[in-house]
A = this chain, B = another copy of it.
């Protein structure tokens, strides 16, 4: 009898975990991704701020999949899913399936603000992190020889939108890059000439955290020299300015947008599914589609309601859902079923700077050095690959001792024209 085929579309945290759980099974497993590597997104901001090399947070997928019998990896762009014909359309042809796990994640949501989408950086892909690093370094190179005070100020002003973990972590890391490293690299630029402005629409940073941690993060960032602007909203941008709701215009050559994510475009290209806010696909309690029990949607793409709200778009949710979907497929084949998916919230954390982070875990809250240490160890633990762990650990140790970030290379002076690759 021919083996049944499971297709896993997307090899982020959800797809990877699902594949791992299915790898030893009796299915034919086909994994599809447009990149040949798994990206450890939580550390992208460190690549963008010259703290880590790109290669340290990417793991070649074939290095994993080659250990799995009956499995095939396919480097392809996923174009759509035909739920009736049980087929995934890719740019290298159609792939039929018996079971499908859809896990292509999310994209940045610019909320239809075209000028922002054109001029802002976002931080979802490896190539974008490199682009941002190149850009920040170039701004300092240009400023170091710019005499005109207005142009110089715009070059040295960095606007970050969104006070979630990415915005907080990026702002803190950029500030430390300037204070500890650029202050020595660029003797003609004073730290006081530089501005980092973190704009958040709500009246608090890190909205998912308990209040005293939110306040700690806010105070810490401000004491480091980041200008935090609460209840502010960016409504437009040009190459040389950022416009706020209310009319204020900030001359700035750098805008990072981390104020929203939406389901990846694939979600819109699957006919006959119910969609919720941010384009996420509504799933059943077992993560399958209502009319298509053989199709599971996991991670950022899935809208799964728990305690009256959709689960957040973050790595632990994706991982747990990937594992659950795989378990469900295995159970089905044995004529069994599983209890509905339940998200085990193991906590969340965000690092603010050197020796400073906030964390919630097991009903307890942590902040400062202890939270920072926990953050480091957990990220090392979850990173894939012995070599990558070593490289990251080495970089962190080096940065901590020498207050240095060595990956401050300008590898291209142009923003990548092709936004679809990375």
- A126 within 8 A of partner (CB): yes
Contact B63 A185 (CB under 8 A): yes
Instruction: List the one stretch of A53-61, A159-167, A238-246, A275-283 in contact with chain B.
Output: A53-61
Contact A141 B391 (CB under 8 A): no
Bound-complex Cα distance A58 to B187 (A):
22
Instruction: List the one stretch of A8-16, A337-345, A360-368, A411-419 in contact with chain B.
Output: A411-419
Q: Return chain B residues, CB-CB under 8 Å to A416.
A: 412
Interface residues of A in 322-374 (CB under 8 A from B): none
Given the interface pairs A37-B409, A409-B55, A409-B58, the reply to whether A184 lies near B418 with Cβ below 8 Å is no
Q: Return chain B residues, CB-CB under 8 Å to A395.
A: 387
Q: Return chain B residues, CB-CB under 8 Å to A411.
A: 54, 126-127, 422
What is the size, in residues, of chain A's interface with B at 8 Å between Cβ atoms? 49
Contact B410 A36 (CB under 8 A): yes
- A92 within 8 A of partner (CB): yes
Interface residues of A in 376-422 (CB under 8 A from B): 385-388, 390-391, 394-395, 398, 404, 406-414, 416-418, 421-422
- A292 within 8 A of partner (CB): no
Contact B75 A410 (CB under 8 A): yes
Contact B410 A388 (CB under 8 A): no
Contact A408 B60 (CB under 8 A): yes
- A74 within 8 A of partner (CB): yes
Q: Return chain B residues, CB-CB under 8 Å to A36.
A: 137, 141, 408-410
Contact A406 B421 (CB under 8 A): no
Q: Return chain B residues, CB-CB under 8 Å to A422.
A: 411-412
Bound-complex Cα distance A408 to B391 (A):
16
- A66 within 8 A of partner (CB): yes
Q: Shortest CB–CB separation between residue A112 and chain B, in angstroms?
A: 28
- The contact string, 1 if C-beta is below 8 Å from chain B, for chain A 162-186, is 0000000000000000000000111
Residue of B nearest to A185 (CB): B62
Bound-complex Cα distance A65 to B114 (A):
42
Given the interface pairs A63-B185, A398-B387, the reply to whether A74 lies near B145 with Cβ below 8 Å is yes
- A233 within 8 A of partner (CB): no
Given the interface pairs A391-B391, A398-B387, the reply to whether A406 lies near B63 with Cβ below 8 Å is yes
Bound-complex Cα distance A69 to B271 (A):
66
Bound-complex Cα distance A65 to B408 (A):
14
Contact A35 B410 (CB under 8 A): yes
7 contacts between A and B (CB under 8 A): A36-B410, A53-B54, A60-B409, A66-B187, A75-B141, A412-B418, A412-B421
List residues of chain A with CB under 8 Å of any chain B CB. 35-37, 53-56, 58-60, 62-63, 66, 74-75, 92, 126-127, 137, 141, 145, 184-187, 385-388, 390-391, 394-395, 398, 404, 406-414, 416-418, 421-422
Apart from A35-B409, A36-B410, list 14 A-B contacts with CB within 8 A.
Answer: A35-B410, A37-B410, A54-B409, A59-B406, A60-B409, A63-B406, A66-B184, A75-B410, A127-B411, A391-B394, A412-B421, A412-B422, A414-B418, A414-B421
